[in-house]
Amino acid sequence: MPNHEDFNLLIVDDNEMNRDVLRRHLVRQGYQQILAAENGKEALEMLSGHNFDLILLDIQMPQMNGYELLAYLKADLKLSHIPVIMISAVDEIDSVVRCIEMGAEDYLHKPFNRVLLKARTSACLEKKRLRDQEEIYRQQLEEANKKLAEVNQQLEQLSKLDGLTGIANRRYFDDAIAKAWSIAVAEKQTIALIIFDIDFFKQFNDAYGHQAGDECLKQVARVAQRTIKRPHDVVARYGGEEFVVILPNTPLSGAEKLARELRQDVENLQINHAYSAASMYVTISLGVTAVLAGGDRGYSEIIANADKALFLAKQQGKNQVQVWHDGLSAGLIT
Ligand SMILES: [Mg+2]
């Protein structure tokens, strides 16, 4: 428990003798920081410059009386938390009730009973101290919760990112495709998908080492993110050297155009690959598909179809775009 001298007390009384008597009582109880005001106006001036822990307020004062000052204090957000003990020369039940109803903490009447004064003053201050402490804990808790939420958000973010390339990972893709699909169904939109992978990547790794392989993956991911740039498009690492792109509300022609740009952009990186049969540089093969969402279809169908198109691109010599649309890529089936 803090020492008495830590508390700041304010006496408000128009009578000088009363102020002195009260001050002496309080000093004897160990309080050291006591200010006194002789009217409401002076009290308000002091209150604007100091933090008080308790106000001892006389009711009978000229001009602004104790009730008026109390009403003012309780209406002021910056002052309403300071406990007020009302002091009166009369001990009338009506007056006590009125003060308590207005928000006073307690009531004392003159002449002071020293024991009562001591008990009520220290009870008020102790309650105030606990309330202040509670407020500090509440703020600390709020602060801690905010930090925790931030950390959780970062963790959530990290769990959805591919550690090597920094783009979305497979897990993110799984959520994103389900979400994009349900939106496309609701909006009766066409959704397109591109799956692509790096040609002769095993040979690249074997020849240039895994560090160079990682660097190659990073560069391809970066280029893909640069090329696919609408806010709702998703570029994700699907696994190994395989990537996937979700293109919501995109017709097949648009998706195919993007796929061709992407193929060109990757080749333009001019990452030497002496062991590729497709080019002297690192290249990618891409499978593209698009479907009007809805009906009996699920999104697993567009993934499977994009995969079939990619397989076709590989089969036909790599470093190219192949498109799958229902019935038209039948060549693959034979
Ligand atoms: Mg008076």
Separation between Cα atoms, residue 319 and residue 306, nearest integer Å: 16
State the distance from the centre of ligand 1 to the C-alpha of 87, rounded, in angstroms. 9
Q: How far is the CA of 76 from the centre of ligand 1 (A)?
A: 23
* Yes or no: domain 4-137 corresponds to CATH 3.40.50.2300: yes
Q: How far is the CA of 60 from the centre of ligand 1 (A)?
A: 4
CA 191/CA 245 separation, integer angstroms: 11
166 CA to middle of ligand 1, Å?
A: 74
d(Cα 243, Cα 235) in Å, to the nearest integer? 7
Q: How far apart (Å, rounded) are the C-alpha atoms in residues 249 and 49?
A: 63
Q: How far apart are CA 306 and CA 301, in angstroms?
A: 9
pLDDT at 92 over 90: no
Sheet hosting strand 321-324, strand order edge to edge: 234-239, 242-247, 190-198, 284-292, 321-324
Can you give the pTM of this predicted structure?
A: 0.59
> Whose CA is closest to 19, among 333, 180, 27, 316?
27
Which of 58-82 are b and which e, b meaning 16 or more Cβ less than 10 Å from the residue's Cβ? bbebeebbbbebbebbeeeeebeeb
- CA–centroid distance, 28 to ligand 1, in Å, is 23
For residue 40, the CA-to-ligand 1 centroid distance in Å is 11
d(CA 311, CA 332): 9
Write out pLDDT tens, residues 259-314.
Answer: 999 999 999 999 999 999 999 999 999 999 999 988 888 899 999 999 999 999 99
Distance 71 CA to ligand 1 centre (A): 17
Q: How confident is the model at residue 90 (pLDDT cuts 50, 70, 90)?
A: confident
Active site residues: 241
CA 25 / ligand 1 centre spacing (Å)? 18
Token pair for 29 = 């109880």
Distance (Å, whole) CA 46 – CA 69: 13
Residue 1 reports pLDDT greater than 60? no
- 328 class by beta-carbon count within 10 Å (0-12 exposed, 13-18 middle, 19+ buried): exposed
Question: What is the DSSP code string of 153-174?
Answer: HHHHHHHTB-TTT-SB-HHHHH
pLDDT band at 89 (very low <50, low <70, confident <90, very high): confident
Write the pLDDT tens digit of every residue in 209-258.
999 999 999 999 999 999 998 999 999 999 999 999 999 999 999 999 99
The string of pLDDT tens digits covering residues 11-70 is 999 999 999 999 999 999 999 999 999 999 999 999 998 999 999 999 999 989 999 999
89 alpha carbon to ligand 1 midpoint, in Å? 8
Ligand 1 centroid vs 82 CA: distance in angstroms?
A: 21
| pLDDT (average), residues 178-198 | 95
pLDDT of 334 higher than 70: no
When pLDDT is averaged across residues 88-111 and rounded to a whole number, the result is 90
Q: List the chain domain ranges.
A: 4-137, 170-332
Give the fold, CATH level 3, of 170-332.
Alpha-Beta Plaits (3.30.70)
Q: Say how many Å lie between the CA of residue 114 and the centre of ligand 1.
A: 19
Q: Is the pLDDT of residue 328 over 60?
A: no
